[in-house]
Amino acid sequence: MPMHSKPPTRRKVTLADIAAGCDVSRATVSLVLRGSPLVNKRTRAKVEAELKRQGYVYNRAAANLRRRTSSSVALVINDLGNPFFAEFAAGVDEALGSAGYVTLLGNTGESPERQQAVLSSLIEHGPAGIILSPAEGSDDARVIAAVGRHTPLLVFNRSLGEASADDAPWDTLVLDNERGTHLATEHLIALGHKRIAFFGGHRDSSSCRQRRQGYLDAMKAASLAVAPGWLVESAPTRLEAARQAGALFNRDPAPTAAVCYNDAVALGLMLGLTSRGRRPGEDFAIVGFDDIAESSVSVPPLTTIAVDPRDRGRQAAELVLARIGHPDMEATHTTAPVRLVVRDSSCRPASP
């Protein structure tokens, strides 16, 4: 007869312990755990009591091994320290969690080398899928070499390597950068502006190219000219943007408004304008891009394009889960919507 005492055991309690403890087979206990309708009410109660008594915890790894399934999804992020990606990660984790998956995290810090290491480490844990926000300068061949052909891959935000986004053999999710700046530009035009600049960002970044394109399209659609001095480059930081603010007014006619590459740049531009005696939101209109937390509390609050990174995270998770469900479907290429958030920084042009 089994003792009723619970010895201060060191080893973890397993199905076999439970089975022994209440005199049924391992198989039965397993059925109980998974809520099978096969098992008799009384046995179920007996087993459940024993589970609680021994403090059993399910070993999902063992189960996954046997069932040849996986309950995790890998999330590889180029820069977790960036609030945009942190929010994205939070969204991913939330959606994965409520689908019963657990998130395997890997942060690469924008290093393609580390990205390779992280990918090959994560892949050994057999995730059901991978969400990758690639480090700048990733090489697609190396990435798929590490990921293999078996694990569904969703690439977020940037395209891998040279490949143009829309015909990659993996799923992609990108922001609608063009539409974002298009909206922003239209908004300024609707307010009455005619001389609108595009401010900030690096020529070679793909997102900057797209955003500038959206601006150009909107200007063209409204038959407005773009003077050469209205395309001002700057590193995408506040400080650099503040320094470049003057460049907008080098030649006549000077713009009365600017669409900015992103919010950091927009906030920097505000600073730069202020220190030159102009009042953003009163005699110069500004629109940003990203809607970072700070933008709603700046002075003046910044009109911007919201990209809802947390929603993008959820969306990414859902896309990869869908793909896990249908591994043989053709690759999907999703463009996520963006929306214009009007605040006070976008004013009407000063009457001449």
Partner DNA sequence: AAACCGGCTTGGATCGTTCTAAACTTGAAA
Partner DNA sequence: TTTCAAGTTTAGAACGATCCAAGCCGGTTT
Q: What does 31 interact with, of its own copies, DNA, none (CB < 5 to 8 A by kind)?
A: DNA
Q: What does 6 interact with, of DNA, its own copies, none (CB < 5 to 8 A by kind)?
A: none
- Pairwise CA distance, residues 219 & 157, whole Å: 25
Of 56 and 284, which has the nearer Cβ to DNA? Answer: 56
At residue 289's C-alpha, the angle toward residues 285 and 293, to 5°, is 100
Nearest to 257, CA basis, from 237, 226, 280, 240: 280
Among 6, 12, 251, 279, interactor with DNA by CB under 7 A? 12
Nearest to 217, CA basis, from 193, 248, 187, 185: 185
Where do runs of H (alpha helix) occur along the chain? 15-22, 26-33, 41-54, 60-67, 83-98, 112-123, 140-147, 177-190, 206-221, 238-244, 263-275, 309-325
Instruction: Give least dist CB 28 to DNA, A.
Output: 4
Residues numbered 299-318 forming contacts with DNA, rule: CB under 7 A:
none
Q: Which residues bind its own copies (CB under 8 A)?
A: 12, 55, 57-62, 64-65, 71-72, 75, 80-81, 83, 86-87, 89-90, 93-94, 97, 100, 102-107, 109, 117-118, 121-126, 148, 150, 238-239, 268, 271, 294, 297, 299, 310
Which residues are 290's β-sheet partners? 306
Give the DSSP letter of residue 14: -
- Pairwise CA distance, residues 167 & 133, whole Å: 17
Element (H, E) at 293: none
Q: What does 104 interact with, of its own copies, DNA, none (CB < 5 to 8 A by kind)?
A: its own copies
Of 22 and 305, which has the nearer Cβ to DNA? Answer: 22
- Pairwise CA distance, residues 124 & 115, whole Å: 14
Of 203 and 326, which has the nearer Cβ to its own copies? Answer: 326
Of 23 and 113, which has the nearer Cβ to DNA? Answer: 23
Instruction: Give least dist CB 154 to its own copies, A.
Output: 17
Q: What does 80 interact with, of its own copies, DNA, none (CB < 5 to 8 A by kind)?
A: its own copies
Q: What does 105 interact with, of its own copies, DNA, none (CB < 5 to 8 A by kind)?
A: its own copies
Collapsed DSSP state (helix, strand, coil) of residue 153 = strand
x/- map, 36-75, DNA, by CB under 7 A? --xxxxxx--------------xx--xx-xxxx-------
Q: What is the 3-state secondary structure (H, E, C) of 325-348?
A: HCCCCCCCEEEECCEEECCCCCCC
At residue 326's C-alpha, the angle toward residues 107 and 172, to 5°, is 45
Task: Based on the shown chain and the rule CB under 7 A, indicate whether residue 276 belongs to the binding site for DNA.
Answer: no
- Pairwise CA distance, residues 31 & 102, whole Å: 23
Task: Based on the shown chain and the rule CB under 7 A, indicate whether residue 24 belongs to the binding site for DNA.
Answer: yes
Residues numbered 76-105 forming contacts with DNA, rule: CB under 7 A:
none
Of 9 and 251, which has the nearer Cβ to its own copies? Answer: 9
Task: Based on the shown chain and the rule CB under 7 A, indicate whether residue 11 belongs to the binding site for DNA.
Answer: yes
Instruction: Give least dist CB 72 to DNA, A.
Output: 16
- Pairwise CA distance, residues 70 & 75, whole Å: 15
Q: Return residues touching DNA (CB under 7 A).
A: 11-12, 14-16, 23-28, 30-31, 33-34, 38-43, 58-59, 62-63, 65-68
